[in-house]
Amino acid sequence: MYDTIIIGAGMSGLAAGIRLAHYDQKVCILEKHYTIGGLNSFYRMNGRDYDVGLHAVTNFTAKGAKKGPLARILRQLRFKWDDFALAPQKGSRIAFPGHNLRFDNDLELLRSEVRREFPNNVDEFDQLVAKISDYDDLDQESFELSGRKILNETISEPLLIEMILCPLMWYGNAAEHDMAWGQFCIMFRSIFLEGFARPYKGVRLILKNLVKRFRSLGGELKLRSGVKTIHVDQKQAVNIELDDGTELQGKRILSSAGRLETLRLCSDSSEPDPRTAGQLTFIESISVLDRQPETLGNEDTIVFYNDSEKFHWERPTEDLCDLRTGVVCSPNNYIYPDESGKLPEGVIRITTIADFDRWNGLSEEEYRLAKLKWYDRSVAASVNFTPDFRSYVIDTDVFTPTTIKRFTWHDNGAVYGAPDKVLDGTTHLDNVFLCGTDQGFVGIIGAMMSGISMANAHCLRA
Amino acid sequence: MAPAEIRNAIIDILGDIAPDEDLSDLKDEVSFRDQLELDSMDFLDIVMELRKRYRVQVPEEDYPNLDSMHSTVTYLTPKMVDCVAT
């Protein structure tokens, strides 16, 4: 009998596992995939290491900072700041036709860029920042207000609104078109008030440290252990049946599988309404270059681009992908410490919005061709906003919505889960709780915070 | 445990929670919140570490006693008289 069974060995499940094992609980983490990490996993191909989700760790605060989610999760998980070896970004950019807003890990740069591009609106921008600072983290009612409505009331320049929304939606909005005010505040803080960073070795360094710690505390991790059914008796989960028929018992279950995905596992639930599932998923076109991006004049860590004055955040309706907006990430463009130096090869990663159903419906041959075709198209769209790198590419890879589904198990490969978040993590069962993207926090630090806070609230205080 | 041993035990717990913190010049009369910027999650951790390490229970209404090192040691001295330093 376990004290807690955790579903999913992503950032939230591993962080929750560490908390519980630290306080002497008997804990088991079940992972359906053959590897850990969920959305923030990694893989190796043609002798090269790749990350799945990671462009940047958001919520970065420098060593010595005592406030903010990074400092908090380090204390909660008993890690030193150096354990995550986060190197800050050089600087990023929001690129719309004829307009650029640069930003880095100091709000002052963004503010001066707003003043340069939109001199009449800088006071309104300051008012927005003030509203965000007032916002209280976990109040469901204010969380669900329309972000666009509050932005429209605060800022009179529509283009500035679209430019601010673009990176925040790209890095953490599960809903189409609009963004919940709470999610907007969380993302604004994590990107503009805190910032971007990356470990030289990528996400595997963070995952390795989490797993090592979890195991050293006596936690069990079972890979290739998908959950088939959560057997329910009178509002209580009584045991878990795995795909291979093994049965496990736990006093409580903490699931990062997603809200709908978890409900569907419960023996007492009928098929949940699929319309409430998340719709936003991506393809990622990765290019390995024979030189560093900076030698091509590319000094940007991340570029969020959009090809018109109106930013469209929605599932593609016409084709496999929507090329109007995208993200260019150059992992080389972080300020790595001298002892590690530059990354050995240049890398450019381009993210493009995609339609899960269309990708999922392709035959094997069509899928192979679609990857080639949409790699070319995505790269061609991106070089309107970043120096053209196409002559220097020595290797490529593309991952798609079906890849993301394999790693995350989310319906539709929805990167940020379902639009309706369950901030208190409760379900219709007394001893089953949610953590991870569907609880409300996204990003690497956010996911860990979700695992920690749900473990504290539902599994440690009980 | 004597008050000095309890102080060491608390220093151990704080060092565990905040490994990047230099605790050698911690001022006993100043609140942890002001010196270390500990938040409510951290205070809960101090309570849980005391329970884990020394089986000492600190009920919620007593949390204000954990404000500074001085108040914490004063509060814990009668509760931890039978505890053994680890």
Asked if A284 and A50 touch (Cβ cutoff 8 Å), the reply is: no
A370-410 per-position pLDDT tens digit? 999 999 999 999 999 999 999 999 999 999 999 999 888 89
End-to-end C-alpha distance for chain A, whole angstroms: 17
The C-alpha atoms of residue A182 and residue A179 are separated, in whole angstroms, by 8
Torsion-angle region of A301 (φ positive above 0: left; ψ -120 to 50: alpha; else: beta): alpha
B9-36 per-position pLDDT tens digit? 999 999 999 888 889 989 999 999 988 8
Report if residue B50 sits inside a domain.
yes
Contacts of A209 in chain B (CB under 8 A): none
Domain boundaries, position B61: 3-79
Q: Are residues A231 and A176 in the same domain?
A: no
* Nearest beta carbon to residue B48 from set A23, A67, A80: A23
A160-169 per-position pLDDT tens digit? 999 999 999 9
- Per-residue pLDDT at B59 exceeds 80: yes
Q: Are residues A141 and A250 in the same domain?
A: no
B34 touches chain A (CB under 8 A): no
Q: What share of chain A is helix, strand, coil (3-state, %, to 5)?
A: 40, 25, 35
Q: Per-residue b/e over B8-47, b at no fewer than 16 CB within 10 Å?
A: ebbeebbeebbebbeeeebeeeeebeebbebeeebbbbbb
- Per-residue pLDDT at A146 exceeds 80: yes
**Is the pTM of the predicted complex or chain greater than 0.90?**
yes
CATH number of the domain encompassing residue A251 = 3.50.50.60
Q: What is the pLDDT of residue A51?
A: 87
Model ipTM value = 0.89
- Per-residue pLDDT at A320 exceeds 80: yes
Task: Please state, rounded to an integer, the average pLDDT across all residues of chain A.
Answer: 94
Q: Where are the alpha helices (DSSP H) in A69-137?
A: 69-77, 107-117, 122-134
Q: Are residues A333 and A289 in the same domain?
A: yes
Report if residue A102 sits inside a domain.
no
Q: Are residues A298 and A395 in the same domain?
A: yes
The C-alpha atoms of residue A112 and residue B75 are separated, in whole angstroms, by 51
B50 touches chain A (CB under 8 A): no
Q: Which of A187, A214, A239 is the last residue of a domain?
A: A187
Number of compact structural domains in chain B: 1
Report if residue B12 sits inside a domain.
yes
Task: Please state, rounded to an integer, the average pLDDT across all residues of chain B.
Answer: 92
Q: Work out the pLDDT band at A136, boundaries 50, 70, 90.
A: low
- Per-residue pLDDT at A138 exceeds 60: no
Report if residue A66 sits inside a domain.
no
User: Are residues A64 and B20, on separate chains, in Cβ contact within 8 Å?
Assistant: yes
Containing H/E element for A406?
A: helix A401-408
Number of Cβ pairs < 8 A linking chain A and chain B: 29
Q: What is the pLDDT of residue A137?
A: 61
Q: Which of A155, A187, A219 is the last residue of a domain?
A: A187
- Cβ neighbours of residue A363 closer than 8 Å, sequence gap 6 or more: none
What mean pLDDT is predicted for residues A43-47?
Answer: 89
Report if residue A103 sits inside a domain.
no
* Nearest beta carbon to residue B20 from set A67, A72, A80: A80
Domain boundaries, position A130: 111-187
Report if residue B85 sits inside a domain.
no
B22 touches chain A (CB under 8 A): no
CA angle A332, A333, A337 (to 5 degrees): 80
Q: What is the pLDDT of residue A53?
A: 80
Contacts of B42 in chain A (CB under 8 A): 75
User: Are residues B19 and A78, on separate chains, in Cβ contact within 8 Å?
Assistant: yes
Minimal C-alpha gap between A116 and chain B (Å): 37
Q: What is the pLDDT of residue A325?
A: 98
Q: Are residues A398 and A303 in the same domain?
A: yes
Number of compact structural domains in chain A: 3
Asked if A396 and A152 touch (Cβ cutoff 8 Å), the reply is: no
Q: Which of A137, A161, A187 is the last residue of a domain?
A: A187
Q: A346-354 and A321-329 as β-strands: parallel, antiparallel, unpaired?
A: antiparallel
Tokens (6 digits) for A444:
């690497």
Optimal mutation site among A72, A74, A75, interface B, most CBs of chain B within 10 A:
A75
CATH number of the domain encompassing residue B64 = 1.10.1200.10
